[in-house]
Amino acid sequence: MAPPPLLRLDGVRLTFGGTPLFTDVELGVLPGDRIALVGRNGSGKSTLLKIAAGLVEADGGEVFRQPGATIRYLAQEPDFGDALSVESYVAAGLGPADDPYRVTRLIEGLGLRADARPNDLSGGEARRAALARVLAPEPDIVLLDEPTNHLDLPTIEWLEEEIRSIRSAVVTISHDRRFLEKTTSATVWLDRGTVRRINEGFGAFEAWRDKTLEEEERDLQKLDRKIVREEHWLRYGVTARRTRNERRLAALHTMRADRRNTRRAMGTVEMAAGETRESGKLVIEAKSISKAYDERILVKDFSTRIQRGDRVGFVGPNGAGKTTLLKMLIGEAQPDSGNVRLGTNLDLAFLDQKRASLDDTLSVSEALTDGRGDQVMVNGEPRHVAGYLKDFLFQPEQIRTPVGNLSGGERARLLLAKTLATPANFLVLDEPTNDLDMETLDLLQELIANYPGTVLLVSHDRDFLDRTVTSVISPDVGGKWLEYAGGYSDMASQKRGAEKEARKAEKPKTSSSASTSSAKLAAANGSAKLSFKQKFALENLPKEIAKFEAAIAKAEAEMADPALFAKNPDRFAKLAAESERHRAGLAKAEDEWLELEMLKAEMES
């Protein structure tokens, strides 16, 4: 028998501004659930979480919370109140029976200072402190609203492990596909006021969603054809006011009403970058650049060449120096040593992660045009702001809305619209994925992948990096930065390969010692010879090694096609994963063969 739900929403409805946000929402959370709550920006995901947490009152329906069950909610914008330190802020989330040691463990695990003042924290540090407060009591239900926003990759990976290890049921809103794939076992889709659920993690969601929408579109087409047939009958087939005809007429009116009330899936963002002249082939050349602040070395002896058409990703922990390196490369900051040469005909468009270029006091229209009328130039053609903003899912009535009243996702879309309207051949995007829904992310990925100019991209979204960039620049130790071909997964694969090679280089000494001990033990027992199993392995391992080498060569030959990543990123990722798997098998086979060869030599001597 299934355990009773910790939380249940039955027939919940809510209306904002005359338009129903929810009409009949059903949602249940059982102990141990790991639920992804997904939907378009503006569909009401955050509001639904707030209703579940008891922070917003629904217009109707029933909200049941199991008596005694504890619920903690992570808001997109944490409120520190009058907390004097991170430790006191996190500890304030504990109940009387909770373990105070978890406060210390979480603060340390998240890399925070216990005595830091909450209001002095950066955006990433504030999000980590809020996470610690929510997770510290290990509540029965944790409701997370965009938990990965402003977090760096090490913290995101830490959070993935924490979610997998805690006993709490977790409901998560996030745009980070990789994070959802790793942390969820069920998916709830909030779409046009109702919810649908599959008891599979987010990895299965998108194929299911696409199939559902296709079936829905077919049903609407059938309804449209039926209405046409009935209208034809109404015009030409009514011969008398018989009861049967009246019922048929009533059925037609019902079908028309159903068709009018059908809410189609929301439109898609139309996205194109402003075109300009072509830049020179060389965009950036950096030679041995270095930068330090207060004796802390952020960048040391870094060199790179970036050419027209390159799409370069920057990853690394917060504070590692990504922004510093980026600013040196685009000429906004000077290196302490070395030099940077910029190419010719560069027209730069910059997307700021802090949305600093948006003035909250301006209307949406004024923010887009900088107050210069009601038209915006896109690819050399004038467009009315209402039409252009509609491409980014803004309604005509929103163009006079103050920027300060927009949601995080709407601000992100407005800044994208403003940035992409700027004629440019060189895009610099700093955390462009924050607050964007997945459909908008898909289009942004497509735009970047097909962009004819050059892109520098700072992101902690692993899936987004895999789908967009041609190389990744990542910090090493001591201010060193290394560049890797491919996306994030390729970088991770290459790093693992380098670590294995380093371990392999150190292994012969250990293997020799172990082999000598084995040989001496065998000699003492009067059996200084290989076993049948060892002989069989020694004879067959070279064949296995050859197979692994051939498979790696085949995969890398196909990956060497420079157009493969842009044309088929899924195939590229699959080949990279296969290559990594074959390399792991090759390393294991080589180590085993080497150990057996050394053991044989010891025995023969």
Residue-wise pLDDT for 41-56, tens only, equals 778 888 999 999 999 9
554 and 593 share a domain? yes
Domain range for residue 249? 208-261
Within this chain, do residues 89 and 158 fall inside the same structural domain, yes or no?
A: yes
Number of domains in the chain: 4
Residues 76 and 167 grouped into a single domain: yes
Q: Do 228 and 340 fall within a single domain?
A: no
Measured CA to CA in angstroms, residue 603 lies from 20, 186, 357, 511, 519 at distances of 81, 57, 74, 14, 5
Could you tell me if residue 274 is inside a domain?
no
Is 43 one of the annotated binding-site residues? Answer: yes
Instruction: Tell me the per-residue pLDDT of 82-138, one tens digit each, with 9 for 90 and over.
Output: 889 999 999 998 988 888 889 999 998 888 999 999 888 887 889 899 999 999 999
Phi, psi of 291 (to 5 degrees): -155, 135
Annotated binding-site residue? 319: yes
Residues 473 and 509 in one domain: no
| Torsion from C-alpha of 139, 181, 267, 21, nearest 10 degrees | -10
Are residues 354 and 497 part of one domain? no
Based on the domain organization, do 413 and 326 belong to the same domain?
yes
Residue 507's pLDDT band, with cuts at 50, 70 and 90, is low
> Do 541 and 511 share a domain, yes or no?
yes
The answer on whether 497 is annotated among ligand-binding residues is no
The pLDDT of residue 593 is above 70? yes
pLDDT, tens digit (0-9, with 9 covering 90-100), for 350-373: 877 665 667 888 888 888 888 777
Of 445, 463, 485, which one is at a domain's C-terminal end? 485
Q: Is 535 within any annotated ligand binding site?
A: no
| Angstrom distance (rounded) from CA 300 to CA 288 | 7
To the question of whether residue 316 is assigned a binding role by annotation, the answer is yes
Q: Which of 218-222, 281-285, 450-454, 542-546 has the highest mean pLDDT?
A: 281-285
The type of residue at 461 is D
User: Same domain for 197 and 233?
Assistant: no
Instruction: Confirm whether residue 531 is marked as ligand binding.
Output: no
Q: Does 268 reside within a domain?
A: no
* Residue 517, domain member (yes or no): yes
164 in the same domain as 149 = yes
Query: To the nearest whole percent, how much of the chain has pLDDT over 70?
Result: 83
Angle at 167 between CA 162 and CA 170, to 5 degrees: 70
Is residue 177 part of an annotated ligand binding site? no
- The CATH number for 388's domain is 3.40.50.300
303 is in an annotated binding site: no
The sign one gets for the Cα dihedral 490, 494, 499, 501 is positive
Residues 41 and 186 in one domain: yes
As a whole number of angstroms, the distance between CA 114 and CA 505 comes to 41
The pTM is what?
0.69
Could you tell me if residue 276 is inside a domain? no
State yes or no: 45 annotated in a binding site.
yes
Last residue of a domain, one of 463, 485, 507: 485
The verdict on 228 and 294 lying in the same domain is no
Q: Is 276 annotated as a binding residue?
A: no
Residue 271 domain-assigned (yes or no): no
